[in-house]
A and B are shown apart, each in its own frame.
Chain A
Amino acid sequence: MIRSYSSTSGRFDWMGLAFAILLVIVIAVPLLVVFTWAFTEVWRYPSVIPQKFGLRFWDQTLSRADVWEALFISLRLSATVTALSALICLPAAYAFARMKFPGRDLFFLSFLASHAFPKFGLLVAIAAIFLQLNLIATFWGVVLIQLVGTLMLMIWIPVAAFQAVDRRMEEAARDVGAGPLRVFWSITLPQAGPTIFAAVLLTFVSTFYETEGAWLIGAPQIRTMPVLMINFINNQVVVQYGAVLSVILWVPSFIALIFARRVIGTGSFAKGFGA
């Protein structure tokens, strides 16, 4: 394992190959299985390959009213939470990155609180408050509880992005006659743009898949896609429904994967979690 320090370029990297193969088996195989199931009509036990491929279960899954309802609720929730989160967090992130005010460091660290407690315990504590406020089983109750979960991501990553913008660029814009708002809009935001876009995208996706809060607060009226999926698994309805739903559900994640990969690889993302 440690031989690769010297990484003499001539030698074949057996360890890299071993890691790659192991990870492919462990990570890709379960997902391939789901993918195969989604396009299978008959697959009885001892056979290695499904007996019959087909799209019959796509029709069946997509004709279910509860699937469409859950999908629309999930999309509405994620869009609302992401928009609200961006609206309140991005200006705050700018303030943290560029302004000085009393309590700045303390407030900034306070967002860690959402990650410093076991999440489900926190959700239960919040749910107890919502119980008194009659927010249980309401759309806005779920919005609020999911919004709290996005705060840290939407503050810490944009703060790092804003701080990375060269101050001289902003000053140069002031110098040629742009007011503070114009500077923010034309210089700061486009410069920090790609990272902020990734943060927004990750917020949308993580909200879309958020299960615990949605179930704890939303049940039974607000049923999101992940919650519906758990029902399908629990009630042992047709295997393929779960597989088809999984493939559909994975689409947002796939889009996020394409766009956010660059940001996550750079390590600024890990910094967002304090590494």
Chain B
Amino acid sequence: MARLKIESLRKSFAATTAVDDFSLDVGDGELVCLLGPSGSGKSTILRMIGGFEQPTSGMIRIDGQDVTRLSPERRPTGMVFQSHALWSHMNVFNNIAFGLKLRSLSRGEIQRKVDQALELVGLAGYGHRQTFQLSGGQQQRVALARSLVLEPKILLLDEPFASLDQHLRERLREEVRDIQQRLGITTLFVTHGQDEALAMADRIVVLRNGQCEQVDAPDVLYRNPQTEFVAGFIGQMNFLSANVEGGRFRHPDFTLDVEVQDGPAVLALRPEALRLEPSDSPDAAGVTRATDFGSHIMVDVELRDGARLKVMTAPDARWQKGQTVRLAASAFALYRQNRLLARGGLPVETVEGRSRHALA
């Protein structure tokens, strides 16, 4: 029912630009995640949508209505804060009922809606509790109920799980995703944790320095990062720098034929796209460490020029420290100045002078 449209949003503080020419369309019932390191402007964007910051320029529309200059209390948005920001002088019921009372609903109506909201977040019967009697996770649920009870068109979540421990965080994000899909509420979610974004979002917006790097579904983002930054930010990635000369990426350990202009470039290889084989060659790469994660083993490999790569191998493989190995890659991407030059599933191998196996 609700669409959010952001057009060339810009926010400058005294000397710095926090958000620079940001545009985004969020469809009805969609959950979009703003992901980025701290200082990337993701919270500022969310706070501008909520009305807590004024954009320097640009426009925010909700269902076609321009809300850019509206104060927070006049916007059809509901925000859940990182610190939950519950009102500690009111009990749970009054926290949730506050917004309803402002809308002069009848007592019975308020009671019914609050009960419903508490039920929704799994806290039925907690109305009479004081907020400080609740655990961190329960407090955040109350904050969610407080926003949802007003049936906002857009739900805004500002790193809502940041203060919770890992285990609780994972459980709560499933619940929130569940509630969001049941209600079909258009949601914008800010986080700096990629797990959270990958687990919850329909689409992810990766931000850096106030600018949008890429907007895509989680699987696309992981498999097809459009910039070097996104490639490094989402999941684990190995990078190798070298020059492209005459249509060939010339790294001492990896060469690759690519049809791009000559110049410096960065080769990006996922650990799971690399494969190891024992090698007898004296100038092959060496294993420096193998860490067993149970489901897989992560092997650190040092190349001849000192560059280090991470390689994911099967849990039954055994690799010794100091062992010489040969690497092969099944997929790659090549970047120059943060832009994607080429990508592909071509086999790339460590050069050992003679043979080249195609492993893919």
Complex A–B touching at CB under 8 A: yes
Q: Is B98 an interface residue (CB 8 A)?
A: yes
The smallest C-beta distance from B208 to any residue of chain A, in angstroms, reads: 26
Q: Enumerate chain B interface residues (CB-CB to A < 8 A).
A: 50-52, 71-74, 77-79, 81-83, 85-89, 98-99, 102-103, 143, 146-147, 150
Question: Across the interface, do A177 and B85 meet the contact criterion of CB distance under 8 Å?
Answer: no
Given contacts A175-B50, A175-B79, A176-B99, contact A169 B85 (CB under 8 A): yes
Q: How far is the CA of A264 from the CA of B150 in the complex (A)?
A: 41
A179-B73 CB under 8 A given contacts A172-B146, A174-B51, A186-B98: yes
Whether A175 contacts B147 in the complex (CB less than 8 A), given A182-B102, A186-B98, comes out as: yes
Contact status B85-A172, CB under 8 Å: yes
CB within 8 A of A177: which of B52, B73, B86?
Answer: B73
Residue of A nearest to B52 (CB): A171
Chain B nearest CB, measured from A213 CB (Å): 37
Chain B: CB-nearest residue to A171: B52
Contacts of B87 in A (CB 8 A): 169, 172-173, 187, 190-191
B98 touches A168 (CB 8 A): no
- Expressed in whole angstroms, the Cα–Cα distance for A240 and B88 within the complex equals 50
A174, A176, A193: the one within 8 Å of B150 (CB)? A176
The 4 nearest A-B residue pairs measured at CB: A176-B99, A168-B85, A174-B72, A172-B85
Besides A173-B98, A174-B51, A176-B98, 19 more A-B contacts (Cβ < 8 Å) are: A166-B83, A168-B82, A168-B83, A168-B85, A169-B86, A171-B72, A171-B79, A172-B85, A174-B52, A175-B50, A175-B51, A175-B77, A175-B78, A176-B99, A176-B147, A176-B150, A177-B103, A177-B150, A179-B71
Residue of A whose beta carbon sits closest to that of B96: A176
Q: Residues on A close to B: CB < 8 A?
A: 166, 168-169, 171-179, 182, 186-187, 190-191, 193
Taking CB atoms, residues of chain A closer than 8 Å to B83 are 166, 168
Most buried by B among A166, A177, A178: A177
Q: Which residues of A contact B82 (CB under 8 A)?
A: 168
Residues of B within 8 A of A171 (CB): 50, 52, 72, 79, 81, 85
Asked whether, in the complex, the Cβ of B89 is within 8 Å of the Cβ of A175, the reply is: no
Q: Kindly list chain A residues whose C-beta atoms are within 8 Å of the C-beta of B71.
A: 174, 179
Closest to A172 in B: B85
**Which of B74, B81, B102 is within 8 Å of A168, CB to CB?**
B81
Residue of B nearest to A166 (CB): B85
The docked-state distance in angstroms from the alpha carbon of A178 to that of B147 is 13
**Separation in Å of the A83 CB from the closest CB of chain B?**
24
Chain B residue with minimal CB distance to A168?
A: B85
CA distance A168 to B46 in the complex (A): 14
Q: CA A166 – CA B81 in complex, angstroms?
A: 11
Bound complex: CA A176 to CA B102 (Å):
8
- CB neighbours of A176 from chain B (8 A): 73, 78, 98-99, 102, 146-147, 150
Tell whether A191 pairs with B51 under 8 Å between CB atoms, given A166-B83, A178-B73: no
Residues of chain B with a CB closer than 8 A to A178's CB? 73, 98-99, 102
Residues of A within 8 A of B81 (CB): 168, 171-172
Contacts of B86 in A (CB 8 A): 169, 172
| A47: min CB distance to chain B, Å | 56
Chain B residues in 8 Å Cβ range of A175: 50-51, 72-73, 77-79, 147
* From B72, B78, B89, contact of A191 by CB (8 A): B89
29 contacts between A and B (CB under 8 A): A169-B85, A171-B52, A171-B79, A172-B146, A173-B87, A174-B51, A174-B52, A174-B71, A175-B72, A175-B73, A176-B73, A176-B78, A176-B98, A176-B99, A177-B74, A177-B99, A177-B103, A177-B150, A178-B73, A178-B98, A178-B99, A178-B102, A186-B98, A187-B87, A190-B89, A191-B87, A191-B88, A191-B89, A193-B89
Bound together, the chains give a CA A182 to CA B88 distance in angstroms of 17
From B72, B81, B146, B150, residue with most partner A Cβ within 10 Å: B72
| From A166, A172, A173, A182, residue with most partner B Cβ within 10 Å | A172
